[in-house]
Amino acid sequence: MTLSIAARLAACCALPLFLAAAQPARAAEVDDWRAVEQAARGQTVYFNAWGGAQNINDYIAWAGDMLKERYGVTLVQVKLDDTANAVARVVAEKAAGKDEGGSVDLIWINGENFASMKQQDLLLKPGWAGKLPNWRYVDYENKPTITTDFTVPVEGLEAPWGMAKLVFFGDPARGVAMPRSFAELVEWTKANPGRFTYPAPPDFLGSSFLKQALSETVADPAILQQPVVDADFDKVTAPLFAALDTMQPDLWRSGRTFPKNKEALRHLLADNEIDIAFAFSPAEASNAIATGELPDTVRSFVFPSGTLGNTHFLAIPYNADAKEGALVTANFLMSPQAQARKQDPKVWGDPTVLAMDKLSATDRAAFDALDLGVATLKPAELGPTLDEPHASWMVRIEAEWARRYGVAN
């Protein structure tokens, strides 16, 4: 054992010096899927994915076993604490002129990171996701966030992997009734001082909370689909900031500090410092119950008038070394088998991007058989999905938030 590790280490010290030289360029022709599968055989795909949850890492390891067995593709998860690190690597490679043989093959991505990579021409083109064989099962007709990622057209530059929805959770065993809208939440905070907070924007979840609040307080939601017009900003956001001003003194720690991210928020609920937490994943509460972090009396809830929703994706950098392997991986992760396993709360609990009516009877049965767990809402209970506001609103609101509450001292 020790010897083999030492030998492996010694070999690895020497080998890459010689092997790191550029490999010949290959054109990934997605239309000829057999050729893609053939080229993929023997490739190693470096999958850059957030590595903060063991159940997700385990799921990716399972997918790696399947890919190895069926397609001869070796999947290596590069565990990240922040997707930005994968983006940074690609930016550096582009800056160094390394347009082929890049070190990142596949990235778990969505929203602003996608928008940035798309805008900076860092993604594999032309669009490929719609040409994957398993695209035929994808529910792009009824799930608009599959084709529009945070108001940015996807154009096939990333393949859908899973669905997300803003879900709140709390512990009914503590005997506190939960609010059913943002307006009720403002009242609730007044009645329960120090028992609610949200992550400080520009954290993803914190900003999402502000978007949810904006969508519920705006007089005419249609205006949020347009880019911000300076003249309107104050008027449109006045109810939002009036509500946030009302909440501020009654927030946890009187709003003098905010949790950093969704993990910190969940901790506060677990430590009984607050009574309501929220996340962008319907299975968040069930997963935390499974690890023992939250008591099994915790339950999820949504606002009946709707909460924000989005989709998370897989993207391939323009200079990926194992493009075919990455395509095969993205296609497999979109397959009914992989999607059904991912939706199993004992595995991960991430909602599928597929349409049930497009599946065969056997595949559908696999989804129907899933037991979602006590704290996870059924798909039908998740309520309507609100549209994401145009990205320019968030930029302005984050800046205004920082000015008002970010430097309280």
Partner 1 sequence: MIRFAPAFAIAVLIGPVAFGLAATFLPAFGYLPTLGGASLNLEAWRQLLATPGLAGSALVPLAAGLITALASLATVCGFVAGWSHLRAFQALQHLLSPLLAVPHAAAALGLAFLLAPSGWLMRLVSPELTGFLRPPDWLIIHDSSGLTMMIGLYAKELPFLFLVTLAALPQARPGPHAAITASLGYGRIAGFIHGVWPLVYPQIRLAVFAVIAFASSTVEVAILLGPTNPAPLAARLAVWMNDPDLAMRFKASAGAVLQLGVTLCALLIWIAGERLAGRIAAVLRLSGRRFARDFAPRLAAAGAVLLAGAAVFSGLFLLALWSLAGPWRFPDAFPQSLTLATWSHHAAGLGWPFAVTLGVGLASTLIAVALTLACLEHEARSGRSGGRALSLLYVPLIVPQAAFVFGLQLFFLVSPLDLSFAALTLAHLVFVLPYVFLSLGDPWRAFDARYAQLALAMGASPARVFWRVRAPILLRPILVAAAVGFAVSIGQYLPTLLIGAGRWPTLTTEAVALASGGDRRVIGVYAFVQLALPFAGFFLATLLPAIIHSGRRDMQAAG
User: Binding to partner 1 (CB under 8 A): which residues in 226-265?
Assistant: 252-254, 256-258, 260-264
As given in the structure block, the two tokens for residue 338 are 């992989």
**Going by DSSP bridges, is the β-strand pair 44-50/74-80 parallel, antiparallel, or unpaired?**
parallel
Residue 100 touches partner 1, criterion: CB under 8 A: no
Output 54 or 360, the one with its CB closest to partner 1. Answer: 54
Can you tell me the distance from the alpha carbon of 46 to that of 24, in angstroms, rounded to the nearest whole number? 18
- Least distance between partner 1 and beta carbon 273 (Å): 5
Please report, as residue ranges, which positions from 15 to 54 form the binding site for partner 1 (by CB under 8 A): 16-17, 20-21, 46, 48, 50-54
Say if residue 202 is preceded by a cis peptide, omega within 30 of 0: yes
- Least distance between partner 1 and beta carbon 216 (Å): 25
Asked if 175 and 167 touch (Cβ cutoff 8 Å), the reply is no
Residue 379 touches partner 1, criterion: CB under 8 A: no
Closest C-alpha to 384, from 331, 281, 277, 309: 309
Alpha helices by DSSP H, listed for 72-203, are 84-95, 111-119, 182-191
As given in the structure block, the two tokens for residue 56 are 């997700």
Can you tell me the distance from the alpha carbon of 365 to that of 194, in angstroms, rounded to the nearest whole number? 46
Residue 407 touches partner 1, criterion: CB under 8 A: yes
Residue 314 touches partner 1, criterion: CB under 8 A: no
**200: Cβ–Cβ under 8 A, 6 or more apart, which residues?**
206, 258, 259, 260, 406
- Least distance between partner 1 and beta carbon 181 (Å): 25
Output 100 or 139, the one with its CB closest to partner 1. Answer: 100
Nearest-5° angle of CA 370, CA 373, CA 378?
70
Residue 82 touches partner 1, criterion: CB under 8 A: yes
Residue 93 touches partner 1, criterion: CB under 8 A: yes
Output 155 or 273, the one with its CB closest to partner 1. Answer: 273
Closest C-alpha to 50, from 164, 133, 131: 164
Output 236 or 394, the one with its CB closest to partner 1. Answer: 394
- Least distance between partner 1 and beta carbon 400 (Å): 10
- Least distance between partner 1 and beta carbon 194 (Å): 4
Binder among 71, 73, 103, 315 for partner 1 (CB under 8 A):
103
Asked if 313 and 109 touch (Cβ cutoff 8 Å), the reply is yes
Binder among 31, 220, 380, 409 for partner 1 (CB under 8 A):
409
Candidates 29-37, 90-98, 179-187, 214-222; binding stretch for partner 1 (CB under 8 A) = 90-98
- Least distance between partner 1 and beta carbon 22 (Å): 10
CA dist list (Å): 275 to 194, 215, 252, 281, 357: 9, 23, 10, 18, 39
Residue 151 touches partner 1, criterion: CB under 8 A: no
Asked if 75 and 49 touch (Cβ cutoff 8 Å), the reply is no
Closest C-alpha to 257, from 405, 136, 145: 405
Please report, as residue ranges, which positions from 174 to 213 form the binding site for partner 1 (by CB under 8 A): 193-194, 200, 202
Residue 293 touches partner 1, criterion: CB under 8 A: yes
Residue 87 touches partner 1, criterion: CB under 8 A: yes
Output 247 or 382, the one with its CB closest to partner 1. Answer: 247
Give residue for tokens 């850059």. Answer: 48
Closest C-alpha to 323, from 182, 128, 189, 185: 128
Residue 133 touches partner 1, criterion: CB under 8 A: no
Residue 347 touches partner 1, criterion: CB under 8 A: no
- Least distance between partner 1 and beta carbon 288 (Å): 8
- Least distance between partner 1 and beta carbon 99 (Å): 11
